[in-house]
């Protein structure tokens, strides 16, 4: 096996990984690896924008309050307060790196989304993610201390046990090079996991195909503490029909006045919530889900009649163009929409500096669970969280590299997969593609927007079999498809495990058998790690 090394290894080239790389390079040499092409990330598809207090009629207290209300009691107050406080400075970092946000008259133009009591969404039209990703990639490519490799797929994390203290440290990652099919043992003093979310676990998702939860699964196998994976956010408005990756119709469209309607034209959210179509995402997604089940319709309609043609053209050029490609003129016609899996509020538990429970391993962005989102993420707080935590983590590079240098380690051979393999059913002939499809259907049907004890139980039972089959195909042939399948099954199992541990309904987790909040028993995170899940 080939070996390689750098001071710092960053896994993932979305907003979290690239921001961290740019900051960490002030302290050390940084190598970024990404499993596909460099811009392939959820970041690249972000539409609405990044939430930060940037106007005089807004305040830090209001942003904190809105975040806490959305989070349904589970946000960590100090994490939210510091996130919001540091937000404006991190938006300015992005501008300094070359991101061109939409402005008018010298001021940033601020959009509005559900749950925000003020206009505070900094955006670049409705192509905010593409603008951010492009600028960060450019800045990284010009930086003398950062190198970036595409088509390098992290398979598992490497760990060392210190000879003297027995402490286990993360010391790198095992990477698969797609071009040659060979494995590389990549050693580093600090590893930043920035691998994004697991949206592809669901049949319908706004996430691109890279979103297979690899980092969550790798961290779990390495023994890290995880939390809150049951809180899967379903975005209410994905364009119908939703193909492999559903095209998102940004919440900012409802922020500008668009209204959700039944197919017969009635206002869908009237009488359901005081904020109508701009009610919290979980409420809107459940209302659409119920409407589709009761009516038998395939979609509901998003009516943009209240937004002027010129505002649509100026503010939503990406959505206008994509819908036009599909034969819908959104200036004159309503958009057919359905909910789709969008974001996971849970992930690898970190402290305020992005440190996980494994020394040497940091996590930032959607892979992480920092405590800021609680049971439901406020719109556009995800990009914000990624830049704030990446910035903070970089301040610990020197300290972490000193610790790594002082560790005289013995490599721990990772045998998780081999052990699991010995228990799997032999001779299953299904291929990775059909298993992935089966998994996505299973999660959509049994662990989706509305859950029940019976459905979650059925999902858990089938996942045991899928796990064995996924490991079998992974061991027969290690490639992108089988690595991702193994991880998707791992993360799906964790989502279902967490959902079965929470005997209440809160935020994004709704179980018809426990339809109420139970603050006495469940006003806490759902914590899992290998051995207790
Ligand atoms: P990503 O941007 O997903 O990047 C992950 C990176 O890791 C990718 O480069 C991927 O290829 C790489 N990777 C993954 N696994 C491996 C592996 N095993 N080995 C090597 N590389 C790997 N949030 C907002 O705040 N505002 C918005 O307006 C907004 N709009 C959104 C619109 C859409 C359509 C979607 C899908 C999400 C949106 N979100 C939004 C959520 C937000 O975009 C994401 O949560 C955020 O971009 C995640 O950034 P990240 O850096 O953590 O992960
Ligand atoms: C959107 O534009 O609706 C997505 C915003 C988000 O997920 O934060």
Tens digits of residue pLDDT in 319-358: 999 999 999 999 999 999 999 999 999 999 999 999 999 9
What is the pLDDT, as a whole number, of residue 429?
A: 55
C-alpha angle 500-506-508 in degrees, rounded to nearest 5: 85
Check whether 173 has a pLDDT greater than 90.
yes
Helix or strand or coil: residue 193?
Answer: strand
- Ligand 2 contact via 49 beta carbon (within 6 Å): no
For the record, the structure tokens of 416 come out as 């998780």
Residue 421: pLDDT band by 50, 70, 90 thresholds?
very low
Measured between alpha carbons, how far is residue 438 from residues 231, 259, 446, 465 in Å? 22, 34, 12, 12
Nearest ligand to the CA of 341 is 1
- Ligand 1 contact via 34 beta carbon (within 6 Å): yes
Residue 281 among the catalytic residues: yes
pLDDT in tens, 228-282: 999 999 999 999 988 768 999 999 999 999 999 999 999 999 999 999 999 989 9
Q: What does the radius of gyration of the chain's CA atoms come to, in whole angstroms?
A: 22
**Catalytic entry in 120, 254, 261, 281:** 281
Q: Cβ distance 428 to 188 under 8 Å?
A: no
Helix or strand or coil: residue 514?
Answer: strand
DSSP 268-337: TTTTT-TTGGGS-HHHHHHHHHHHHHHH--S-EEEE-TTS-HHHHHHH-HHHHHHHHHTT--TTTSPEEE
Beta strand 152-162 pairing with 107-108: unpaired
What is the pLDDT, as a whole number, of residue 166?
A: 80
Nearest ligand to the CA of 128 is 1
Check whether 435 has a pLDDT greater than 90.
yes
**Residue 126 CA to ligand 2 centre (angstroms):** 10
The pTM score is 0.96
Going along the chain from its start, the domains and CATH numbers come out as 2-49+125-230+345-411 (3.50.50.60), 235-340 (3.90.700.10), 413-528 (1.20.58.100)
Residue in 169, 69, 47 with CA at minimum distance from that of residue 115: 69
Q: Whose CA is nearest to atom 53 of ligand 1?
A: 196
pLDDT in tens, 377-391: 999 999 999 999 999
CA 37 to chain centre: 18
Check whether 184 has a pLDDT greater than 90.
yes
- Ligand 2 contact via 380 beta carbon (within 6 Å): yes
Does a cis peptide bond (omega within 30 degrees of 0) precede residue 241? yes
pLDDT in tens, 136-163: 999 999 999 999 999 999 999 999 988 7
What is the pLDDT, as a whole number, of residue 208?
A: 97
Helix pair angle (128-142, 15-24), 10° resolution: 30
């Amino acid at each position: 096996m080939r070996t390689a090394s750098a001071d710092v290894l960053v896994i993932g080239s979305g907003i979290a990984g690239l921001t961290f790389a740019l900051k960490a390079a002030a302290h050390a040499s940084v190598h970024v690896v990404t499993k596909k092409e460099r811009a392939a990330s959820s970041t690249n598809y972000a539409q609405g924008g990044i939430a930060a207090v940037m106007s005089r009629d807004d305040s830090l207290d209001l942003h904190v309050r809105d975040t806490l209300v959305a989070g349904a009691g589970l946000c960590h107050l100090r994490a939210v307060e510091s996130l919001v406080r540091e937000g404006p400075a991190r938006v300015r970092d992005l501008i300094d790196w070359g991101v061109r946000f939409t402005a008018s008259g010298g001021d940033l133009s601020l959009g509005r989304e559900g749950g925000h009591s003020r206009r505070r969404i900094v955006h670049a039209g409705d192509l905010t993610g593409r603008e951010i990703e492009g600028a960060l990639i450019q800045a990284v490519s010009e930086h003398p201390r950062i190198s970036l490799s595409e088509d390098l797929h992290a398979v598992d994390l490497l760990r060392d046990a210190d000879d003297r203290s027995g402490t286990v440290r993360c010391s790198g990652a095992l990477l698969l090079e797609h071009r040659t099919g060979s494995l590389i043992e990549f050693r580093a003093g600090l590893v930043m996991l920035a691998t994004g979310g697991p949206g592809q676990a669901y049949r319908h998702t706004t996430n691109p195909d890279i979103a297979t939860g690899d980092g969550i699964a790798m961290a779990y196998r390495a023994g890290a503490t995880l939390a809150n994976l049951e809180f899967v956010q379903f975005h209410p408005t994905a364009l119908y029909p939703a193909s492999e990756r559903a095209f998102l119709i940004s919440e900012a469209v409802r922020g500008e006045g668009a209204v959700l309607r039944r197919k017969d034209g009635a206002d869908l959210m009237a009488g359901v919530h005081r904020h109508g179509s701009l009610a919290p995402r979980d409420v809107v997604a459940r209302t659409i889900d119920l409407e589709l089940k009761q009516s038998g319709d395939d979609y509901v309609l998003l009516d943009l009649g209240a937004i002027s043609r010129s505002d649509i053209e100026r503010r939503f050029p990406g959505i206008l163009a994509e819908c036009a490609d599909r034969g819908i003129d959104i200036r004159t016609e309503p958009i057919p929409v359905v909910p789709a899996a969008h974001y996971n509020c849970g992930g690898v538990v970190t402290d305020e500096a992005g440190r996980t429970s494994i020394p040497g391993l940091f996590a930032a962005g959607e892979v992480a669970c920092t405590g800021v989102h609680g049971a439901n993420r406020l719109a556009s707080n995800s990009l914000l969280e990624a830049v704030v935590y990446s910035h903070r983590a970089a301040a610990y590079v020197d300290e972490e590299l000193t610790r790594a240098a002082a560790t005289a380690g013995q490599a721990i051979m990772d045998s998780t997969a081999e052990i699991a393999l010995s228990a799997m059913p032999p001779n299953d002939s299904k291929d990775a593609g059909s298993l992935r499809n089966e998994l996505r259907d299973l999660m959509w049907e049994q662990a989706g927007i509305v859950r029940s004890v019976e459905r979650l139980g059925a999902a858990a039972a089938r996942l045991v079999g899928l796990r064995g089959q996924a490991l079998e195909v992974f061991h027969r042939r290690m490639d992108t498809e089988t690595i991702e399948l193994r991880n998707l099954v791992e993360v799906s199992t964790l989502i279902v495990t967490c959902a079965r541990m929470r005997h209440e309904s809160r935020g994004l987790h709704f179980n018809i058998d426990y339809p109420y909040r139970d603050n006495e028993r469940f006003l806490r995170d759902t914590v899992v790690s290998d051995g207790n899940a």
